[in-house]
Amino acid sequence: MPKSLRRLAALIRKEAIQAVRDRRTLVLSLTMPVIVLFFLGYAVSLSVEHIPTAVADMSLDGRSREFIDALTVSGYFDVERYVETEEEVIRAIDRGQAQAGLVIPPDFAAQVERGEGQVLLLLDGSQQFTVQFGYSAALNIAQAHAVKLLTAKAGQMGFAAMGELPITTAMRVRYNPNMDAMLFLIPVLAGLLMQIMSFNLTALSVVREREIGTTEQLLVTPARPLELMVSKVVPSLVLSTVSMSIVVLLGVYWFRVPFQGNVWHFATLSLVFTVSSLGLGLLVSTVVSTQKGAQQVSSLIMLLTIMLTGFVFPQSTMIPIARAIGSLMPLTYFARIVRAIYTRGVSITSVRTDAVILVLYSVGIVVLAAVSFKKRLD
């Protein structure tokens, strides 16, 4: 066996022994992604339902009760309190007792008969998703209720054909027909957890060795910087792969998120993605010198990853500088890959651009970490 391979094997063996002996880190690495997956899987929802609502019904007739019933039956609004005036509705929103308010004028029934019915919907603007979903839901409910009233009135007048709309829309949602937020979150959430865990495994381990002085012991060996970097990656790669497999299996069998694509394509690209995340941790470890500094950088990268990689918010709506920062995170490319293979079931050729970028990113980041580590030693 060539000397370089013997050195690399010895370094990998040393790293593996250290990983096994550090039981606390080993247990946390395997259990923390699972714990976070359950917390986010059950706590995070991208749809808003059952919005607490205060109603000021100043009409108190059949028309107003029909409209209120249409809101509550939809499931988007829960009428939790009735008040007398618009000011009391605003006061309820200010106090946090309601996130939406409905004000129905005294002559609502007469307005409806004239075709001029109008109600006031107040939404808590400090709740972004409440405003977005509440506005859309209320608009759709009001339109549907108006069409129902128009159809009924036309039928009473003997013009049944007037109840037929000239244009109808048929909607079909591909890959997620029930619009379940879990199908959107779980696949990319697995990637997010793996990036965070892989980053911390390498960044903290290198900095910890520097703090306790074992790095100086490695300097007197013939080991080269690239060999040191690869030896750090291999044991962490095995641990990250096991953790990734657990998270994906939980997503499929516990959260019932079906896996639609080719398992081997997904596994191969997941390995590449994990290497890129480990390499990012190695690069950061060559810059910071303390575990506290590494944790601070980890928190910053986690925030940027959540906000700028398309994990939740689409990159198409971001300004160019935000998209440029997001492109520095490997999850940006893996998010598109995992949604394509995991959710849509496409082949690897459909994501070849992101796959090639991820491969180049992985190789480049590890080499850059090795070069940076060598310069730091010099």
Closest CA to 275 of 204, 366, 346: 366
Mean pLDDT computed over 2-30:
74
Decide if 279 contacts 365 (C-beta within 8 A).
yes
Question: What are the φ and ψ backbone dihedral angles of 103, each rounded to 5 degrees?
Answer: -120, 120
Residue 89 pLDDT > 60: yes
1: exposed, middle or buried (Cβ count in 10 Å: 0-12, 13-18, 19+): exposed
Residue 272: band (very low, low, confident or very high) from pLDDT cuts 50, 70, 90: very high
Average pLDDT of the chain, as a whole number: 80
Distance of CA 259 to the CA centre of its chain: 18
Mean pLDDT computed over 106-126:
81
- Find the range with the poorest average confidence among 33-47, 71-85, 317-331: 33-47
Residue 7 pLDDT > 90: no
Cα dist. 99→58, 81, 86, 127, 139 in Å?
A: 20, 12, 14, 8, 17
Mean pLDDT computed over 274-287:
86
Question: What are the φ and ψ backbone dihedral angles of 262, each rounded to 5 degrees?
Answer: -85, 125
Mean pLDDT computed over 22-45:
76
Q: What is the DSSP string of 41-105?
A: HHH--SS--SEEEEEEESS-SHHHHHHHHHHHHTTSEEEEEEESSHHHHHHHHHTTS-SEEEEE-
Distance (Å, rounded) from C-alpha 140 to C-alpha 146? 10
Domains along the chain with CATH numbers? 3-44+179-377 (no CATH), 51-163 (3.40.1710.10)
Residue 206 pLDDT > 80: no
Residue 307 pLDDT > 60: yes
| DSSP letter, residue 58 | S
Distance (Å, rounded) from C-alpha 175 to C-alpha 76? 24
Q: Is 96 helix (H, G, I), strand (E, B) or coil?
A: coil
Kindly report the pTM of this predicted structure.
0.73
pLDDT digits (tens, 9 = 90+) for 315-371: 877 899 999 999 999 999 999 999 889 888 888 888 999 999 999 999 999 888 878
Q: Is 222 helix (H, G, I), strand (E, B) or coil?
A: coil
pLDDT digits (tens, 9 = 90+) for 153-191: 666 565 554 445 555 556 666 777 776 777 778 888 888
Q: Ramachandran region of residue 44, left (φ > 0), alpha (ψ -120 to 50) or beta?
A: beta
Distance of CA 201 to the CA centre of its chain: 22
pLDDT digits (tens, 9 = 90+) for 125-161: 776 666 777 778 888 888 777 777 766 666 656 555 4
Decide if 374 contacts 282 (C-beta within 8 A).
no
79 pairs with which residues across the strands? 53
Mean pLDDT computed over 205-218:
67
Q: Would you tell me how many other CB atoms lie within 10 Å of the CB of residue 342?
A: 25
